[in-house]
Structure 1
Amino acid sequence: MIVLSFVLLSLVHISTAQIAGVVCLQIAASISSSSNVFLPGSLSYTSDIFHWASSSSDISACSVEPGTAADVGKILQIVGASRTPFAVKGGGHTANPGFSSTPGVHISMSRFSEVTYNATAQTATIGSGLVWDDVYAVLDPLNVTVVGGRFSGVGVAGYSLGGGYSWKSNLVGLTVDNIVGYELVLPNGTLTQVTATKNPDLFFGLKGGLNNFGIVTRFIFKTYPQGQIWGGLITYTVPNMAAVNQAVANFASSVTDPKAQIFSAYNGAVGVPIMAQMLYYDAPVLPPGIFDEFLSIPFVTKDAGTRSLSSFVRLFPTNITTGSRSIFDTVPVTRYTPAIVDAILNETTFWSARLAPFGGLAVSYNIEPFLPSAVPSTNPATAFPGSRTAGVALCPTNFFFLWLPATSDDIFHNAMHQSVAQIKALAIAEGVLGSSKYTNYAMFDTPLSDIYGQNVPRLQSIKKAVDPLNVMGLAGGFKF
């Protein structure tokens, strides 16, 4: 491998793709029969590099599906020695270009598809190649669950390494607060088990620190009893938006039952807003008074009632926009004031109209109220969020734009910056700006300090200790 690196580094006149092609052959010759390398044109390659947002995909020299942690280690050693760009993809739900795609070697974790429940330890071991739909399908019949993703199509790995706001977060904290162990392949190719006692620094870093410290092959989650829930999706249109805004603001300011959550998606196309309102209660019977205001507003569609967690998650398929170009960003708030709720509706109307002539398909602004218990200050420190303040909530607020032509990328990115600045200024004026932008929503050019705050120096120190050659710097993402 060292000889290979010198050869490749000397061939400065050939392209990254050509170098990566040679590395692909080296990987194919080194991995076991449990793993495979696929070239462009094959169905497996096409599936491996696919992202729900076309702007997040790239044409790689090859894709690799490792089937064992040992093979992941071999792959890391080869790309590290040759300094070949690479990507690691779990579910592929990032909206940031280059975060899990590359013109180099694309590593798909799809073969890490384990979901194993340990009733004695009350834990579940979950492979990093799954989406949350797969996990809930296994755990639902066992009447247990983990603190996982809220919507269909979201990958386990990126979500869990970025923080993880869940339907159970008001009760037990973020996803990172409920992971008790990681199987991690370090940048030098060594396999290690990371727990709070075995490696507290890495344990801290992996709780929100994304792919900076190696490649996670398996997560070990705490499990919780889970029966049926009450939940559903209701849509509203313009004539009732004022009443919907009031209901959202009232819920955010007054409902303190940790079993109750809402997700309010203000969606707009060509200047016409429509609200997709998700209601969730973590019990089969909805108590009176929790969602009465929402249920009394005239609606366009309604699908709400007692159901399994899996069926609830499937009500909101995030991959419904597959094929479009997309970007996320976020403004964290400590609470949603009526002024902010009204402003979000205004942004939805304004930007969906303004961006339509440039190939804009839709915009979506998502209000996500959480209680202070979702980010409990008493929990052990984690990479994300950068700070935990007793009694103060941290609500992520997702902004989402989608469009078609690649020639409009800069227009939509600039528009996102303007909209974020507008809502951020209002949040400051209202005294409700939150301390940390949510890792999994933050746009690609977000400064590390806006996400990790006071944790940045410690994270940089951990990164330097476990990855002195900066192998993980060859992959995309927020880098320490």
Structure 2
Amino acid sequence: MSRLITLITGLSFALFSASTEVRRAGNYAATCQEIATSVSSSASKVYYNGSPQYTKDNDHWASSSSQTSACSFEPATAQDVGIALQILAKDQTPFAVKSGGHSAVPGFSSTPGVQIALFSFSEIVYDASADMATIGMGLIWDDVYTELEQYDVTVVGATSPGVGIGGVILGGGYSYLSNQYGLSLDNAVAFELVMPNGTVASITSSSDSDLFFGLRGGFNNFGIVTTVTVKTYPQSQVWGGRISYAEAQWDEVNTVIANFVANVSDTKAFVHSTGDYAAGEPFVSNILFYDAPEYPDGIFDDFLAIEHFDEDLSTRSYSDLILTLPTNVTTGFRVMFSWVPLEQFTPSILEMVKNQTEFYGAELMQYSTTLISYDVIPYLPSLYDHYDTPSAFPSSRDSGQGHSFIELYYGWTNPDDDAKMHQVAAESVAYMKQFIVDAGQDMTNALLYPNCAPSGTALEDMYGDALERLQSIRSAVDPDNVMSLTGGWRF
């Protein structure tokens, strides 16, 4: 109730005067009914608890991110999204916007009010003459990769199966292709945006440079994006997949990773290493990737030479590479992520990450933890060179080199363990940050990735010197604070 009161008092007097039916908390059903009777397209539907569509609309990859909404709404047109936004604003009903439902932060894409699911925005239109594709926000990246393969092209998107378009394209988008082409948001050229007042607009760098800046990294602060147009790139078959090692080989794997980081500058080559602790056993898995049917001699030979217990490496389509990765085995867990930037992985930092994985993995086994992972994600210093115009994230690219990252993932099953998991993760992140500083890497100006930042992260830590501009843009486009009725990083 306190959150609802805060939102209401923050609205302008003009909006209050226009509303004669301000809903009290818990009376969201009336808003659901009004949306159902007001939309212009018969294909736009409102669903209620008990229907398969409602279940799908409210379901999230992480169980800790789901809530029970009063109803779900699947708009079929951008105009109907606008109608719903006007009703939600008038009634002061909280709502959520779901693309793929992969957010790990509770409340970011779920609500007790009206759950808006964008599944009907599922079209992919490829424009070969412009080397672009227009993609609906109701899709997942797997579908986009598969559809575009018939044209021998791809786009810069998620590296894991099952991830929706929205959070990636509006929040950043680190990819296996990012050393070549930048982040996903760098490759966005146009957005169809339903603004908080219900107006539908096409936003490009020339039509509205401020909103174009804000949408690339600023999530849903400025309205609801229904489609995005992105650059496409030629795509042949690739070489890669997964190779896994037992704990006894971990030190040897770290040595090979350190050598790879120090000596390989080929933008087509990529390694993503995951240290896991599951069922009382630590192990390490590497994703090896080369953007061609075969990799040049020597780049990955040392990885293959180490004794390993599992291997799925081959020449394959890009979509097949994504779909073979094991991310979806953690569907339904309670989840949190965190993110530690650094300049470069060194042998001592890699050893530290291994020790953190083993130490906290053993400590948390007494709770309901199913899996913890510490991911080593090395990028080239030129990572942030691939963009034409500045974006909301990361706003500090003009003055610094590209960063590599440690990604921390905790997955567990018992809600009673939530506070403990977040506490332990914060302790580990603080230790790793200090270790990196003590190792001589100045990360003072490094920004945290909003898609992997834990709940409660300060906006300044993600957006830096762009925050003031983003707040000004939000005030201009949403003077009545309509988007404050939904979850996410709020400017």
Scaled by the length of structure 2, the TM-score of the pair is 0.94
- Out of 1, 6, 20, the residue aligned to residue 6 of structure 1 is 20
- Out of 474, 477, 480, the residue aligned to residue 485 of structure 2 is 474
CA change 1:72–1:254 in 2 (3 A) is same
Match of 1:369 in 2: 378
Match of 1:166 in 2: 175
The CA distance in 2 between the partners of 1:443 and 1:405, in whole Å, is 19
Match of 1:456 in 2: 467
Alignment of 1:207-222 (within 5 A): 207-222=216-231
Matched letter for residue 315 of structure 2: T
The CA distance in 2 between the partners of 1:100 and 1:155, in whole Å, is 12
- Out of 70, 87, 92, the residue aligned to residue 78 of structure 1 is 87
Match of 1:443 in 2: 454
The CA distance in 1 between the partners of 2:102 and 2:387, in whole Å, is 31
Match of 1:411 in 2: 420
| Aligned-pair CA distance for 1:442 | 0.6
- Out of 26, 30, 35, the residue aligned to residue 38 of structure 2 is 30
Matched letter for residue 472 of structure 1: M
| Aligned-pair CA distance for 1:290 | 0.9
Alignment of 1:193-212 (within 5 A): 193-212=202-221
The CA distance in 1 between the partners of 2:399 and 2:269, in whole Å, is 21
The CA distance in 2 between the partners of 1:20 and 1:2, in whole Å, is 18
Q: Does structure 2 conserve the Cα–Cα contact (< 8 Å) formed by 1:92 and 1:155? A: yes
The CA distance in 2 between the partners of 1:168 and 1:277, in whole Å, is 17
The CA distance in 2 between the partners of 1:464 and 1:4, in whole Å, is 20
| Aligned-pair CA distance for 1:272 | 2.4
Q: Which runs of 5+ in 2 are unaligned?
A: 1-14
Match of 1:254 in 2: 263
Alignment of 1:9-408 (within 5 A): 9=23, 11=24, 16=25, 18-31=26-39, 32-269=41-278, 271-376=280-385, 379-389=388-398, 392-408=401-417
| Aligned-pair CA distance for 1:381 | 0.9
Q: Does structure 1 conserve the Cα–Cα contact (< 8 Å) formed by 2:21 and 2:90? A: no
| Aligned-pair CA distance for 1:34 | 1.8
SS of structure 1 residue aligned to 2:83: helix
Q: Does structure 2 conserve the Cα–Cα contact (< 8 Å) formed by 1:84 and 1:104? A: yes
Match of 2:8 in 1: none
Q: Does structure 2 conserve the Cα–Cα contact (< 8 Å) formed by 1:271 and 1:351? A: no
Q: Does structure 2 conserve the Cα–Cα contact (< 8 Å) formed by 1:230 and 1:282? A: yes
Q: Does structure 2 conserve the Cα–Cα contact (< 8 Å) formed by 1:4 and 1:82? A: no
SS of structure 2 residue aligned to 1:218: strand
Matched letter for residue 431 of structure 1: G
Match of 2:7 in 1: none
Matched letter for residue 395 of structure 2: G
Range moving further from structure 2, 385-394 or 356-365: 385-394
- Equivalences, count: 474
Q: Does structure 2 conserve the Cα–Cα contact (< 8 Å) formed by 1:372 and 1:393? A: yes
Deviations along 1:96-116, one digit per CA (max 9) or x if unpaired, are: 100100111100001100111
The CA distance in 1 between the partners of 2:388 and 2:126, in whole Å, is 24
Range moving further from structure 2, 431-440 or 442-451: 431-440
The CA distance in 2 between the partners of 1:99 and 1:233, in whole Å, is 31
The CA distance in 1 between the partners of 2:209 and 2:378, in whole Å, is 31
The CA distance in 2 between the partners of 1:111 and 1:316, in whole Å, is 27
Range moving further from structure 2, 369-378 or 411-420: 369-378
| Aligned-pair CA distance for 1:255 | 1.1
The CA distance in 1 between the partners of 2:342 and 2:96, in whole Å, is 32
Deviations along 1:166-199, one digit per CA (max 9) or x if unpaired, are: 1111011111111100000001110000000000
Q: Does structure 2 conserve the Cα–Cα contact (< 8 Å) formed by 1:181 and 1:220? A: yes
| Aligned-pair CA distance for 1:390 | 5.5
| Aligned-pair CA distance for 1:370 | 0.7
| Aligned-pair CA distance for 1:2 | 7.5
The CA distance in 2 between the partners of 1:55 and 1:241, in whole Å, is 32
Q: Does structure 2 conserve the Cα–Cα contact (< 8 Å) formed by 1:270 and 1:352? A: no
The CA distance in 2 between the partners of 1:447 and 1:45, in whole Å, is 33
Q: Does structure 2 conserve the Cα–Cα contact (< 8 Å) formed by 1:153 and 1:317? A: no
The CA distance in 2 between the partners of 1:271 and 1:350, in whole Å, is 11
SS of structure 1 residue aligned to 2:365: helix
Q: Does structure 1 conserve the Cα–Cα contact (< 8 Å) formed by 2:383 and 2:401? A: no
Q: Does structure 1 conserve the Cα–Cα contact (< 8 Å) formed by 2:82 and 2:198? A: yes
Please tell me the root mean square deviation across aligned C-alpha atoms, in Å: 1.5
The CA distance in 1 between the partners of 2:265 and 2:280, in whole Å, is 34
Matched letter for residue 132 of structure 1: W
Deviations along 1:233-255, one digit per CA (max 9) or x if unpaired, are: 10111110110111122212221
The CA distance in 1 between the partners of 2:222 and 2:440, in whole Å, is 36
Deviations along 1:277-313, one digit per CA (max 9) or x if unpaired, are: 1000011111011111111101111111211000000
The CA distance in 2 between the partners of 1:346 and 1:315, in whole Å, is 28
Matched letter for residue 460 of structure 2: S
| Aligned-pair CA distance for 1:377 | 7.4
Q: Does structure 2 conserve the Cα–Cα contact (< 8 Å) formed by 1:214 and 1:472? A: yes
Match of 1:426 in 2: 435
